[in-house]
A and B are shown apart, each in its own frame.
Chain A
Amino acid sequence: MILPVPASAGVADDRAITVEKIADGVYVRPGRVAVVFEADNIANTGFVIGDRCVAVIDTGGSPAEGRALDAAIGKITKLPVCFVINTHVHPDHMLGNEAFERDGVEFIGHENLPRAMALRGDTYRRRAAEYSGNVANPPKIVLPERTVGGTVQLDLGQRMLTLRAHGTAHTDNDLSILDEQSGILFAGDLVFLDHLPVLDGSINGWLDELGQLMDKSLRAVVPGHGPAEAEWPVAGAATVDYFTALRAAIRSWIARGGELGAAQQGIEAADPERWRLIDQYHKRNVAAAFAELEWED
Protein backbone atom coordinates (compact mmCIF):
# COMPACT_ATOMS: atom_id res chain seq x y z
CA MET A 1 0.00 0.00 0.00
CA ILE A 2 1.23 3.49 -0.81
CA LEU A 3 0.81 5.82 2.10
CA PRO A 4 -0.81 9.06 1.07
CA VAL A 5 0.97 12.21 2.11
CA PRO A 6 -1.12 13.57 4.97
CA ALA A 7 -2.43 17.07 4.55
CA SER A 8 -0.47 18.70 7.33
CA ALA A 9 -2.83 19.51 10.16
CA GLY A 10 -3.45 23.19 10.74
CA VAL A 11 -2.29 24.29 7.30
CA ALA A 12 -5.17 25.25 5.04
CA ASP A 13 -5.24 23.41 1.74
CA ASP A 14 -6.00 26.18 -0.75
CA ARG A 15 -4.94 24.50 -3.92
CA ALA A 16 -5.70 26.13 -7.26
CA ILE A 17 -7.32 23.97 -9.89
CA THR A 18 -7.89 24.34 -13.59
CA VAL A 19 -11.22 23.73 -15.24
CA GLU A 20 -11.95 23.01 -18.91
CA LYS A 21 -14.62 24.89 -20.80
CA ILE A 22 -16.39 22.29 -22.93
CA ALA A 23 -19.26 24.51 -24.18
CA ASP A 24 -20.61 27.98 -23.52
CA GLY A 25 -21.24 28.11 -19.79
CA VAL A 26 -20.27 24.45 -19.25
CA TYR A 27 -17.07 23.64 -17.37
CA VAL A 28 -15.43 20.45 -16.14
CA ARG A 29 -12.77 19.85 -13.55
CA PRO A 30 -11.22 16.64 -14.93
CA GLY A 31 -10.48 13.93 -12.41
CA ARG A 32 -7.49 11.66 -12.55
CA VAL A 33 -7.48 7.89 -12.59
CA ALA A 34 -6.73 6.67 -9.07
CA VAL A 35 -8.13 4.44 -6.34
CA VAL A 36 -10.83 6.01 -4.21
CA PHE A 37 -9.51 7.78 -1.08
CA GLU A 38 -5.92 7.60 -2.35
CA ALA A 39 -6.60 10.91 -4.08
CA ASP A 40 -9.43 13.41 -3.63
CA ASN A 41 -9.78 14.53 -7.25
CA ILE A 42 -10.66 11.28 -8.95
CA ALA A 43 -14.11 12.05 -10.32
CA ASN A 44 -14.96 14.55 -13.02
CA THR A 45 -16.83 17.43 -11.45
CA GLY A 46 -18.24 20.48 -13.18
CA PHE A 47 -20.65 23.36 -13.31
CA VAL A 48 -23.14 25.02 -15.63
CA ILE A 49 -23.73 28.79 -15.68
CA GLY A 50 -27.14 30.27 -16.47
CA ASP A 51 -28.24 33.91 -16.57
CA ARG A 52 -29.27 33.83 -12.93
CA CYS A 53 -26.99 31.38 -11.18
CA VAL A 54 -24.68 28.38 -11.29
CA ALA A 55 -25.36 24.67 -10.80
CA VAL A 56 -22.46 22.58 -9.48
CA ILE A 57 -22.42 18.94 -10.50
CA ASP A 58 -20.48 16.87 -7.96
CA THR A 59 -18.00 18.38 -5.57
CA GLY A 60 -14.96 16.08 -5.49
CA GLY A 61 -13.53 13.89 -2.78
CA SER A 62 -12.71 16.39 -0.03
CA PRO A 63 -13.76 19.77 1.33
CA ALA A 64 -10.47 21.18 -0.05
CA GLU A 65 -11.37 19.97 -3.49
CA GLY A 66 -14.87 21.46 -3.10
CA ARG A 67 -13.41 24.80 -2.01
CA ALA A 68 -11.05 24.81 -4.99
CA LEU A 69 -13.97 24.20 -7.32
CA ASP A 70 -15.90 27.01 -5.65
CA ALA A 71 -12.92 29.34 -6.12
CA ALA A 72 -12.57 28.34 -9.77
CA ILE A 73 -16.24 29.19 -10.34
CA GLY A 74 -15.68 32.57 -8.70
CA LYS A 75 -12.93 33.37 -11.19
CA ILE A 76 -15.23 32.69 -14.13
CA THR A 77 -18.52 34.24 -13.02
CA LYS A 78 -19.84 36.60 -10.37
CA LEU A 79 -23.17 34.74 -10.36
CA PRO A 80 -23.92 32.78 -7.19
CA VAL A 81 -24.08 29.01 -6.90
CA CYS A 82 -27.75 28.07 -6.44
CA PHE A 83 -27.68 24.27 -6.81
CA VAL A 84 -25.28 21.51 -5.86
CA ILE A 85 -26.26 18.28 -7.57
CA ASN A 86 -24.72 14.96 -6.54
CA THR A 87 -24.76 12.29 -9.23
CA HIS A 88 -24.59 9.55 -6.56
CA VAL A 89 -23.34 8.67 -3.10
CA HIS A 90 -19.71 7.76 -3.73
CA PRO A 91 -17.22 9.77 -1.71
CA ASP A 92 -15.14 10.95 -4.67
CA HIS A 93 -18.26 12.77 -5.89
CA MET A 94 -19.69 14.29 -2.75
CA LEU A 95 -17.20 14.78 0.07
CA GLY A 96 -16.60 18.33 -1.21
CA ASN A 97 -20.25 19.26 -0.53
CA GLU A 98 -19.54 21.10 2.71
CA ALA A 99 -17.58 23.77 0.79
CA PHE A 100 -20.90 24.92 -0.68
CA GLU A 101 -23.00 24.91 2.48
CA ARG A 102 -24.32 28.45 2.64
CA ASP A 103 -27.49 30.46 2.17
CA GLY A 104 -28.95 30.27 -1.31
CA VAL A 105 -27.45 26.89 -2.19
CA GLU A 106 -29.82 23.96 -2.53
CA PHE A 107 -28.45 20.40 -2.48
CA ILE A 108 -30.18 17.98 -4.82
CA GLY A 109 -29.90 14.23 -5.36
CA HIS A 110 -31.67 11.00 -6.29
CA GLU A 111 -34.55 9.97 -4.04
CA ASN A 112 -32.41 7.07 -2.75
CA LEU A 113 -29.43 9.31 -2.02
CA PRO A 114 -30.37 10.23 1.58
CA ARG A 115 -30.63 6.56 2.57
CA ALA A 116 -27.36 5.69 0.86
CA MET A 117 -25.61 8.64 2.51
CA ALA A 118 -27.09 7.68 5.86
CA LEU A 119 -25.88 4.09 5.65
CA ARG A 120 -22.47 4.79 4.18
CA GLY A 121 -21.59 8.26 5.35
CA ASP A 122 -19.89 7.20 8.52
CA THR A 123 -17.63 4.69 6.76
CA TYR A 124 -16.73 7.26 4.11
CA ARG A 125 -15.94 9.96 6.64
CA ARG A 126 -13.75 7.61 8.63
CA ARG A 127 -11.86 6.36 5.62
CA ALA A 128 -11.40 9.85 4.18
CA ALA A 129 -10.07 11.02 7.53
CA GLU A 130 -7.67 8.06 7.74
CA TYR A 131 -6.29 8.72 4.29
CA SER A 132 -5.93 12.46 4.73
CA GLY A 133 -4.29 12.05 8.11
CA ASN A 134 -6.82 14.48 9.55
CA VAL A 135 -8.65 12.02 11.78
CA ALA A 136 -9.84 14.74 14.15
CA ASN A 137 -11.75 16.56 11.46
CA PRO A 138 -13.49 14.23 9.00
CA PRO A 139 -15.46 15.75 6.11
CA LYS A 140 -19.19 16.32 6.59
CA ILE A 141 -21.88 14.39 4.81
CA VAL A 142 -24.26 16.99 3.38
CA LEU A 143 -27.60 15.42 2.57
CA PRO A 144 -29.80 16.59 -0.31
CA GLU A 145 -32.58 19.02 0.61
CA ARG A 146 -34.48 18.14 -2.54
CA THR A 147 -34.66 14.67 -4.03
CA VAL A 148 -35.53 13.51 -7.50
CA GLY A 149 -37.60 10.51 -8.59
CA GLY A 150 -38.29 10.43 -12.31
CA THR A 151 -37.21 13.74 -13.84
CA VAL A 152 -36.97 17.31 -12.59
CA GLN A 153 -36.07 20.52 -14.40
CA LEU A 154 -33.96 23.23 -12.85
CA ASP A 155 -33.96 26.78 -14.19
CA LEU A 156 -30.61 28.56 -13.99
CA GLY A 157 -32.03 31.62 -15.77
CA GLN A 158 -32.56 31.12 -19.52
CA ARG A 159 -30.97 27.73 -19.11
CA MET A 160 -32.69 24.51 -18.14
CA LEU A 161 -31.13 21.41 -16.68
CA THR A 162 -33.03 18.13 -16.80
CA LEU A 163 -32.21 15.80 -13.93
CA ARG A 164 -33.11 12.14 -14.37
CA ALA A 165 -33.19 9.61 -11.56
CA HIS A 166 -32.12 6.23 -12.94
CA GLY A 167 -33.02 2.73 -11.81
CA THR A 168 -30.36 0.78 -9.91
CA ALA A 169 -27.27 0.73 -12.13
CA HIS A 170 -23.83 1.90 -10.97
CA THR A 171 -25.51 2.48 -7.59
CA ASP A 172 -29.14 2.62 -6.48
CA ASN A 173 -29.00 6.43 -6.55
CA ASP A 174 -27.66 7.46 -9.97
CA LEU A 175 -28.73 10.85 -11.29
CA SER A 176 -27.79 12.25 -14.71
CA ILE A 177 -27.96 15.91 -15.67
CA LEU A 178 -28.70 17.15 -19.18
CA ASP A 179 -27.90 20.73 -20.09
CA GLU A 180 -30.66 21.37 -22.64
CA GLN A 181 -28.88 24.32 -24.21
CA SER A 182 -25.63 22.58 -25.14
CA GLY A 183 -26.94 19.03 -25.41
CA ILE A 184 -24.26 17.86 -23.00
CA LEU A 185 -25.10 15.13 -20.50
CA PHE A 186 -23.31 14.84 -17.18
CA ALA A 187 -23.64 11.08 -16.98
CA GLY A 188 -22.11 10.61 -13.55
CA ASP A 189 -20.73 7.11 -13.11
CA LEU A 190 -23.16 5.56 -15.56
CA VAL A 191 -20.31 6.14 -18.01
CA PHE A 192 -16.67 5.30 -17.33
CA LEU A 193 -13.69 5.74 -19.63
CA ASP A 194 -10.08 4.74 -18.83
CA HIS A 195 -10.95 3.99 -15.17
CA LEU A 196 -12.42 0.48 -14.97
CA PRO A 197 -16.17 0.73 -14.23
CA VAL A 198 -17.00 -0.18 -10.64
CA LEU A 199 -20.21 -2.05 -9.94
CA ASP A 200 -22.03 -1.12 -6.74
CA GLY A 201 -25.62 -1.50 -7.89
CA SER A 202 -26.88 -3.92 -10.50
CA ILE A 203 -25.13 -5.23 -13.60
CA ASN A 204 -28.47 -5.91 -15.29
CA GLY A 205 -29.82 -2.51 -14.29
CA TRP A 206 -26.70 -0.73 -15.48
CA LEU A 207 -26.82 -2.39 -18.90
CA ASP A 208 -30.55 -1.52 -19.14
CA GLU A 209 -29.98 2.14 -18.27
CA LEU A 210 -27.04 2.43 -20.66
CA GLY A 211 -29.07 0.74 -23.38
CA GLN A 212 -31.64 3.52 -23.09
CA LEU A 213 -29.01 6.24 -22.96
CA MET A 214 -27.24 4.89 -26.03
CA ASP A 215 -30.34 5.71 -28.12
CA LYS A 216 -30.22 9.36 -27.17
CA SER A 217 -28.75 11.96 -29.43
CA LEU A 218 -26.36 14.03 -27.34
CA ARG A 219 -23.71 16.51 -28.29
CA ALA A 220 -21.33 14.93 -25.79
CA VAL A 221 -21.23 13.35 -22.36
CA VAL A 222 -19.16 14.14 -19.33
CA PRO A 223 -18.29 10.70 -17.95
CA GLY A 224 -17.94 10.28 -14.21
CA HIS A 225 -14.38 9.12 -14.82
CA GLY A 226 -12.26 9.63 -17.93
CA PRO A 227 -11.81 12.68 -20.15
CA ALA A 228 -13.73 15.89 -19.50
CA GLU A 229 -16.01 15.19 -22.42
CA ALA A 230 -16.57 12.31 -24.79
CA GLU A 231 -18.44 11.64 -27.98
CA TRP A 232 -21.80 9.91 -27.70
CA PRO A 233 -22.79 7.10 -28.09
CA VAL A 234 -19.26 5.91 -28.83
CA ALA A 235 -18.17 6.72 -25.28
CA GLY A 236 -20.83 4.47 -23.79
CA ALA A 237 -19.67 1.42 -25.69
CA ALA A 238 -16.66 0.75 -23.47
CA THR A 239 -18.77 0.38 -20.32
CA VAL A 240 -21.43 -1.62 -22.19
CA ASP A 241 -18.86 -3.97 -23.71
CA TYR A 242 -17.12 -4.60 -20.39
CA PHE A 243 -20.30 -5.50 -18.53
CA THR A 244 -21.83 -7.45 -21.42
CA ALA A 245 -18.76 -9.69 -21.55
CA LEU A 246 -18.63 -9.96 -17.76
CA ARG A 247 -22.28 -10.92 -17.52
CA ALA A 248 -21.96 -13.61 -20.19
CA ALA A 249 -18.88 -15.09 -18.51
CA ILE A 250 -20.48 -15.17 -15.07
CA ARG A 251 -23.75 -16.65 -16.31
CA SER A 252 -21.88 -19.44 -17.99
CA TRP A 253 -19.78 -19.96 -14.85
CA ILE A 254 -22.89 -20.22 -12.70
CA ALA A 255 -24.56 -22.58 -15.18
CA ARG A 256 -21.59 -24.94 -14.83
CA GLY A 257 -21.93 -24.95 -11.05
CA GLY A 258 -18.83 -22.87 -10.48
CA GLU A 259 -18.44 -20.93 -7.27
CA LEU A 260 -17.62 -17.33 -6.59
CA GLY A 261 -14.01 -17.62 -5.43
CA ALA A 262 -12.94 -19.54 -8.51
CA ALA A 263 -14.88 -17.14 -10.74
CA GLN A 264 -12.92 -14.22 -9.29
CA GLN A 265 -9.70 -15.99 -10.23
CA GLY A 266 -10.87 -17.33 -13.56
CA ILE A 267 -12.86 -14.57 -15.23
CA GLU A 268 -10.73 -11.85 -16.76
CA ALA A 269 -11.65 -8.35 -17.88
CA ALA A 270 -12.52 -8.03 -21.55
CA ASP A 271 -10.48 -5.54 -23.59
CA PRO A 272 -7.90 -4.95 -20.84
CA GLU A 273 -6.03 -2.44 -23.00
CA ARG A 274 -8.99 -0.08 -22.62
CA TRP A 275 -8.86 0.11 -18.85
CA ARG A 276 -6.74 1.09 -15.89
CA LEU A 277 -7.23 -0.17 -12.32
CA ILE A 278 -8.25 -3.67 -13.46
CA ASP A 279 -6.20 -5.16 -10.60
CA GLN A 280 -7.97 -2.97 -8.08
CA TYR A 281 -11.57 -3.36 -9.19
CA HIS A 282 -12.21 -6.24 -11.57
CA LYS A 283 -12.42 -9.05 -9.01
CA ARG A 284 -14.64 -6.88 -6.91
CA ASN A 285 -16.93 -6.45 -9.90
CA VAL A 286 -16.97 -10.21 -10.46
CA ALA A 287 -18.12 -10.72 -6.86
CA ALA A 288 -20.84 -8.07 -7.06
CA ALA A 289 -22.14 -9.30 -10.41
CA PHE A 290 -21.95 -12.96 -9.38
CA ALA A 291 -23.99 -12.28 -6.23
CA GLU A 292 -26.67 -10.67 -8.39
CA LEU A 293 -26.71 -13.07 -11.33
CA GLU A 294 -26.84 -16.28 -9.29
CA TRP A 295 -30.39 -15.30 -8.35
CA GLU A 296 -31.55 -15.29 -11.96
CA ASP A 297 -33.91 -18.12 -12.91
Chain B
Amino acid sequence: MGTRMKRDAAMRSFYMALVVPALFSGLAHATTVEEDMAWTGGLKAAYFADREILSDDLIVLEAPQRAENAAIVPVSIKAGIPQTEDRYIRTIWLFVDKNPGPLVGKFHFTPATGRADLGLRLRVDAYSPVRAIAETNDGQLHMSRRFVKASGGCSAPASSDPDAAREELGRMKFLVRHKDAEENSTRVEGNPPPSLAQLMIRHPNRSGFQMDQVTRHYAPAEFVKEVTVSFEGEEIFRAETSFAISENPSFRFYFAPRQEGAVTAVVTDTEGREFSETYDVSSVTGDVAARR
Protein backbone atom coordinates (compact mmCIF):
# COMPACT_ATOMS: atom_id res chain seq x y z
CA MET B 1 0.00 0.00 0.00
CA GLY B 2 2.76 2.36 0.98
CA THR B 3 4.54 1.73 -2.26
CA ARG B 4 1.43 2.39 -4.23
CA MET B 5 0.76 5.63 -2.42
CA LYS B 6 4.25 6.81 -3.10
CA ARG B 7 3.90 5.84 -6.69
CA ASP B 8 0.56 7.60 -7.01
CA ALA B 9 2.10 10.74 -5.63
CA ALA B 10 5.09 10.40 -7.92
CA MET B 11 2.87 9.89 -10.92
CA ARG B 12 0.71 12.83 -10.00
CA SER B 13 3.63 15.17 -9.90
CA PHE B 14 4.91 13.59 -13.06
CA TYR B 15 1.60 14.31 -14.76
CA MET B 16 1.43 17.80 -13.37
CA ALA B 17 4.82 18.41 -14.87
CA LEU B 18 3.39 17.27 -18.19
CA VAL B 19 0.24 19.33 -18.14
CA VAL B 20 1.81 22.73 -18.37
CA PRO B 21 4.28 22.07 -21.19
CA ALA B 22 1.61 20.11 -23.08
CA LEU B 23 -0.78 23.06 -22.98
CA PHE B 24 1.74 25.70 -23.84
CA SER B 25 3.97 23.70 -26.14
CA GLY B 26 3.64 26.22 -28.93
CA LEU B 27 5.32 28.81 -26.74
CA ALA B 28 7.68 26.56 -24.85
CA HIS B 29 9.39 25.04 -27.82
CA ALA B 30 11.66 28.00 -28.47
CA THR B 31 14.51 27.17 -26.12
CA THR B 32 16.55 24.02 -26.36
CA VAL B 33 18.32 24.87 -23.11
CA GLU B 34 15.08 24.24 -21.28
CA GLU B 35 14.36 21.13 -23.30
CA ASP B 36 17.69 19.68 -22.27
CA MET B 37 17.37 20.37 -18.55
CA ALA B 38 16.68 16.76 -17.66
CA TRP B 39 19.81 15.75 -19.51
CA THR B 40 22.17 18.43 -18.31
CA GLY B 41 20.62 18.41 -14.85
CA GLY B 42 21.47 14.83 -14.01
CA LEU B 43 20.82 12.25 -16.69
CA LYS B 44 24.08 12.80 -18.48
CA ALA B 45 26.07 12.55 -15.26
CA ALA B 46 24.17 9.48 -14.10
CA TYR B 47 25.10 7.49 -17.17
CA PHE B 48 28.35 9.00 -18.38
CA ALA B 49 29.77 10.87 -15.38
CA ASP B 50 32.14 13.56 -16.67
CA ARG B 51 33.04 11.79 -19.91
CA GLU B 52 33.18 13.99 -22.98
CA ILE B 53 30.37 13.46 -25.48
CA LEU B 54 30.94 14.77 -29.00
CA SER B 55 27.99 16.18 -30.86
CA ASP B 56 29.02 15.26 -34.37
CA ASP B 57 27.65 13.20 -37.22
CA LEU B 58 29.25 9.86 -36.44
CA ILE B 59 25.70 8.68 -35.95
CA VAL B 60 22.52 10.33 -37.14
CA LEU B 61 19.31 9.84 -35.24
CA GLU B 62 16.10 10.13 -37.22
CA ALA B 63 12.78 10.61 -35.45
CA PRO B 64 9.52 12.30 -36.41
CA GLN B 65 9.08 15.88 -35.17
CA ARG B 66 5.56 15.02 -34.19
CA ALA B 67 4.66 11.47 -33.29
CA GLU B 68 1.15 10.69 -34.45
CA ASN B 69 0.94 7.63 -32.26
CA ALA B 70 2.92 8.12 -29.06
CA ALA B 71 2.92 4.39 -28.32
CA ILE B 72 4.59 3.56 -31.66
CA VAL B 73 7.17 6.20 -32.51
CA PRO B 74 9.55 4.96 -35.21
CA VAL B 75 13.15 6.06 -34.79
CA SER B 76 16.30 5.03 -36.59
CA ILE B 77 20.00 5.53 -36.12
CA LYS B 78 22.36 5.58 -39.06
CA ALA B 79 26.03 5.01 -38.55
CA GLY B 80 28.52 7.13 -40.46
CA ILE B 81 31.29 4.54 -40.30
CA PRO B 82 31.43 0.89 -41.38
CA GLN B 83 32.05 -1.74 -38.72
CA THR B 84 35.64 -2.94 -39.13
CA GLU B 85 37.91 -4.82 -36.79
CA ASP B 86 39.95 -1.64 -36.34
CA ARG B 87 37.13 0.77 -35.70
CA TYR B 88 33.55 0.06 -34.88
CA ILE B 89 30.61 1.21 -32.81
CA ARG B 90 30.26 -1.16 -29.90
CA THR B 91 27.30 0.33 -28.03
CA ILE B 92 24.50 2.76 -28.72
CA TRP B 93 22.49 4.16 -25.80
CA LEU B 94 19.06 5.52 -26.55
CA PHE B 95 17.27 7.95 -24.22
CA VAL B 96 13.90 9.67 -24.09
CA ASP B 97 14.73 12.33 -21.50
CA LYS B 98 11.20 12.93 -20.24
CA ASN B 99 10.03 9.32 -20.04
CA PRO B 100 9.46 7.92 -16.54
CA GLY B 101 12.48 5.72 -17.22
CA PRO B 102 14.64 7.72 -19.64
CA LEU B 103 16.94 4.92 -20.80
CA VAL B 104 15.20 3.11 -23.64
CA GLY B 105 17.98 0.60 -24.08
CA LYS B 106 21.60 -0.21 -24.78
CA PHE B 107 22.37 -1.81 -28.10
CA HIS B 108 25.59 -3.68 -28.68
CA PHE B 109 27.26 -4.27 -32.01
CA THR B 110 30.36 -6.07 -33.24
CA PRO B 111 32.47 -5.93 -36.41
CA ALA B 112 30.26 -8.79 -37.64
CA THR B 113 27.33 -6.41 -37.59
CA GLY B 114 28.75 -4.84 -40.74
CA ARG B 115 27.04 -1.58 -40.01
CA ALA B 116 25.73 -0.27 -36.71
CA ASP B 117 22.41 1.00 -38.00
CA LEU B 118 19.34 0.46 -35.89
CA GLY B 119 15.62 0.95 -36.34
CA LEU B 120 13.03 0.48 -33.62
CA ARG B 121 9.80 1.91 -32.17
CA LEU B 122 9.40 3.72 -28.90
CA ARG B 123 6.88 4.93 -26.42
CA VAL B 124 7.27 8.65 -25.82
CA ASP B 125 5.40 9.98 -22.82
CA ALA B 126 5.92 13.72 -23.21
CA TYR B 127 7.38 16.33 -25.51
CA SER B 128 10.96 15.28 -25.14
CA PRO B 129 14.44 15.17 -26.56
CA VAL B 130 15.33 11.73 -27.88
CA ARG B 131 19.06 11.11 -27.96
CA ALA B 132 21.34 8.38 -29.21
CA ILE B 133 24.89 8.09 -27.94
CA ALA B 134 27.37 5.84 -29.66
CA GLU B 135 30.50 4.51 -28.07
CA THR B 136 33.22 3.47 -30.48
CA ASN B 137 35.70 0.72 -29.65
CA ASP B 138 38.30 3.35 -28.70
CA GLY B 139 35.94 4.60 -25.98
CA GLN B 140 34.82 7.84 -27.65
CA LEU B 141 31.22 8.98 -27.24
CA HIS B 142 29.20 10.60 -30.03
CA MET B 143 25.68 11.98 -29.70
CA SER B 144 22.79 12.72 -32.03
CA ARG B 145 19.62 14.35 -30.72
CA ARG B 146 16.10 15.07 -31.94
CA PHE B 147 13.11 16.71 -30.29
CA VAL B 148 9.88 14.74 -30.55
CA LYS B 149 6.43 16.09 -29.86
CA ALA B 150 4.41 13.21 -28.53
CA SER B 151 2.64 12.55 -25.32
CA GLY B 152 1.06 9.76 -23.37
CA GLY B 153 3.03 6.91 -24.91
CA CYS B 154 3.90 5.22 -21.64
CA SER B 155 0.65 5.63 -19.79
CA ALA B 156 -1.53 5.51 -22.87
CA PRO B 157 -3.21 2.20 -23.50
CA ALA B 158 -0.66 0.37 -25.52
CA SER B 159 -2.62 -2.46 -26.91
CA SER B 160 -5.68 -2.16 -29.04
CA ASP B 161 -6.13 -5.92 -29.03
CA PRO B 162 -4.67 -7.36 -25.80
CA ASP B 163 -6.11 -10.83 -26.36
CA ALA B 164 -4.41 -11.18 -29.72
CA ALA B 165 -1.10 -9.97 -28.28
CA ARG B 166 -1.34 -12.40 -25.38
CA GLU B 167 -2.24 -15.44 -27.51
CA GLU B 168 0.90 -15.13 -29.58
CA LEU B 169 3.32 -14.16 -26.83
CA GLY B 170 6.87 -15.01 -27.80
CA ARG B 171 6.20 -15.62 -31.47
CA MET B 172 9.01 -14.19 -33.60
CA LYS B 173 9.54 -13.20 -37.16
CA PHE B 174 12.97 -12.75 -38.70
CA LEU B 175 13.48 -11.18 -42.10
CA VAL B 176 16.68 -10.68 -44.04
CA ARG B 177 16.90 -8.46 -47.08
CA HIS B 178 20.10 -8.65 -49.09
CA LYS B 179 18.88 -6.32 -51.80
CA ASP B 180 18.88 -3.23 -49.63
CA ALA B 181 22.57 -3.72 -49.05
CA GLU B 182 23.49 -3.24 -52.71
CA GLU B 183 23.52 0.56 -52.38
CA ASN B 184 25.19 0.44 -49.02
CA SER B 185 27.86 3.09 -49.07
CA THR B 186 29.65 1.85 -45.98
CA ARG B 187 30.49 -1.53 -47.47
CA VAL B 188 33.98 -2.69 -46.54
CA GLU B 189 36.20 -3.80 -49.44
CA GLY B 190 36.61 -7.54 -49.50
CA ASN B 191 33.74 -8.19 -47.14
CA PRO B 192 30.26 -9.22 -48.15
CA PRO B 193 27.75 -6.36 -48.09
CA PRO B 194 25.80 -6.15 -44.86
CA SER B 195 22.24 -7.36 -45.11
CA LEU B 196 19.30 -5.68 -43.49
CA ALA B 197 17.67 -7.86 -40.87
CA GLN B 198 14.47 -7.34 -38.94
CA LEU B 199 13.59 -9.23 -35.79
CA MET B 200 10.02 -8.95 -34.53
CA ILE B 201 8.81 -10.33 -31.20
CA ARG B 202 5.21 -10.72 -30.07
CA HIS B 203 5.14 -9.26 -26.59
CA PRO B 204 2.86 -6.78 -24.77
CA ASN B 205 5.94 -4.94 -23.46
CA ARG B 206 3.75 -3.40 -20.83
CA SER B 207 5.09 -0.26 -19.25
CA GLY B 208 3.71 -0.55 -15.74
CA PHE B 209 2.28 2.96 -16.10
CA GLN B 210 -1.17 1.90 -17.21
CA MET B 211 -3.50 2.21 -14.26
CA ASP B 212 -6.38 -0.15 -13.73
CA GLN B 213 -9.33 2.10 -12.89
CA VAL B 214 -11.11 -0.68 -11.05
CA THR B 215 -8.37 -1.88 -8.75
CA ARG B 216 -6.53 1.46 -8.73
CA HIS B 217 -3.36 -0.51 -9.28
CA TYR B 218 -0.95 -0.19 -12.12
CA ALA B 219 -0.84 -3.19 -14.39
CA PRO B 220 2.59 -4.62 -13.54
CA ALA B 221 5.41 -3.94 -15.93
CA GLU B 222 6.12 -6.87 -18.21
CA PHE B 223 8.64 -6.33 -20.95
CA VAL B 224 11.45 -7.75 -23.02
CA LYS B 225 14.72 -7.04 -21.27
CA GLU B 226 17.30 -8.69 -23.46
CA VAL B 227 17.58 -9.74 -27.07
CA THR B 228 20.65 -11.53 -28.38
CA VAL B 229 21.11 -12.37 -32.04
CA SER B 230 24.02 -14.50 -33.15
CA PHE B 231 25.16 -15.93 -36.46
CA GLU B 232 26.82 -19.33 -36.31
CA GLY B 233 27.49 -18.77 -32.63
CA GLU B 234 29.02 -15.30 -33.07
CA GLU B 235 27.09 -12.42 -31.49
CA ILE B 236 26.03 -9.83 -34.03
CA PHE B 237 23.50 -7.78 -32.11
CA ARG B 238 22.46 -7.55 -28.48
CA ALA B 239 19.89 -5.25 -26.93
CA GLU B 240 19.21 -4.51 -23.27
CA THR B 241 15.80 -2.93 -23.32
CA SER B 242 13.08 -1.30 -21.23
CA PHE B 243 9.32 -0.79 -21.43
CA ALA B 244 9.93 2.25 -23.60
CA ILE B 245 10.12 -0.13 -26.55
CA SER B 246 6.67 -0.38 -28.13
CA GLU B 247 4.43 -3.41 -27.87
CA ASN B 248 5.61 -6.21 -30.17
CA PRO B 249 9.24 -5.03 -30.25
CA SER B 250 10.76 -4.75 -33.70
CA PHE B 251 14.47 -4.25 -34.35
CA ARG B 252 16.05 -3.51 -37.69
CA PHE B 253 19.79 -3.93 -37.86
CA TYR B 254 22.49 -5.06 -40.25
CA PHE B 255 24.75 -8.02 -40.33
CA ALA B 256 27.19 -9.37 -42.87
CA PRO B 257 26.88 -13.13 -43.24
CA ARG B 258 30.09 -14.48 -44.75
CA GLN B 259 28.49 -17.74 -45.70
CA GLU B 260 25.21 -19.58 -45.36
CA GLY B 261 24.45 -20.32 -41.77
CA ALA B 262 22.11 -20.16 -38.86
CA VAL B 263 20.92 -17.08 -37.05
CA THR B 264 19.68 -17.59 -33.51
CA ALA B 265 17.61 -15.04 -31.61
CA VAL B 266 17.18 -15.41 -27.86
CA VAL B 267 14.74 -13.16 -26.04
CA THR B 268 14.23 -12.93 -22.29
CA ASP B 269 11.61 -10.89 -20.47
CA THR B 270 11.00 -9.57 -16.98
CA GLU B 271 8.90 -12.62 -16.12
CA GLY B 272 11.94 -14.84 -16.64
CA ARG B 273 10.55 -16.32 -19.83
CA GLU B 274 12.97 -17.15 -22.62
CA PHE B 275 12.01 -17.40 -26.25
CA SER B 276 14.39 -18.67 -28.87
CA GLU B 277 14.28 -19.20 -32.63
CA THR B 278 16.85 -20.27 -35.19
CA TYR B 279 16.71 -19.39 -38.86
CA ASP B 280 18.66 -20.47 -41.93
CA VAL B 281 20.16 -17.57 -43.78
CA SER B 282 21.59 -17.74 -47.24
CA SER B 283 24.44 -15.33 -47.78
CA VAL B 284 23.59 -14.89 -51.43
CA THR B 285 19.94 -15.33 -52.20
CA GLY B 286 16.58 -15.22 -50.59
CA ASP B 287 14.99 -12.37 -48.71
CA VAL B 288 13.15 -14.17 -46.01
CA ALA B 289 14.90 -16.45 -43.60
CA ALA B 290 13.29 -19.83 -43.04
CA ARG B 291 12.63 -20.92 -39.50
CA ARG B 292 14.40 -24.12 -38.50
Contact = CB atoms under 8 A, between A and B. Distances in A.
Interface of A: 1, 3, 114-123, 126-127, 130, 135, 141, 143, 168, 171-172, 199-202, 205, 257, 259-261, 264, 281, 283-284, 286-288, 291-292, 294-295
Contacts of B155: 122-123
A260 B161 contact: no
Interface string B84-121: 00000000000000000000000000000000000101
A122 B213 contact: yes
Interface stretch (B173-181, B186-194, B256-264): B173-181
Given A259-B74, A287-B68, A119 B164 contact: no
B50 interface: no
A205 B160 CA distance: 12
A118 B215 contact: yes
Contacts of A114: 214
B219 interface: yes
B213 A202 contact: no
Interface residues of B, number: 47
Minimum-distance CB pairs A-B, first 9: A121-B213, A261-B74, A283-B68, A284-B68, A122-B211, A287-B69, A260-B74, A120-B157, A118-B214
Contacts of A202: 160-161, 164
Given A202-B161, A259-B74, A295-B202, 20 more contacts: A115-B162, A116-B157, A118-B215, A119-B157, A120-B213, A121-B213, A122-B211, A123-B155, A135-B19, A143-B213, A202-B160, A205-B161, A257-B196, A257-B287, A259-B252, A260-B72, A261-B62, A261-B64, A284-B69, A291-B247
Give the residue among A120, A281, A291 with the most B Cβ atoms within 10 A.
A291
Interface of B: 15, 19, 22-23, 25-26, 62, 64, 68-69, 72, 74-76, 119, 121, 152, 155-157, 160-164, 168, 173, 175, 177, 179-180, 196, 200, 202, 210-215, 219, 246-248, 250, 252, 287
Given A121-B213, A259-B252, A130 B160 contact: no
Nearest to B64: A261
